Amino acid sequence: MKNYNKIQHDSDTQSDVMVETEEVEVADKQIVLYNDEFNTFQFVIESLIKVCKHDAIQAEQCTFLVHYKGKCSVKKGSYEELEPFCTALLERGLTAEIE
pLDDT in tens, 71-90: 999 999 999 999 999 999 99
Q: Is residue 15 part of a domain?
A: no
Share of the chain above pLDDT 90, in %: 73
Average pLDDT over residues 29-40: 97
Q: Is residue 9 part of a domain?
A: no
Whether residue 76 is contained in a domain is answered as yes
**CATH number of domain containing 94:** 3.30.1390.10
Domain containing residue 31: 26-98
For residue 17, pLDDT over 80 is answered with no
Among 34, 24, 22, residue whose Cα is nearest residue 89 = 34
Number of domains in the chain: 1
**Does any domain span residue 80?**
yes
69 falls within a domain: yes
Each residue's pLDDT tens digit, 41-59: 999 999 999 999 999 999 9
* Residue partners of 32: CB distance under 8 A and separation at least 6: 71, 72, 73, 74, 96, 97, 98, 99
pTM of the entire predicted model: 0.73
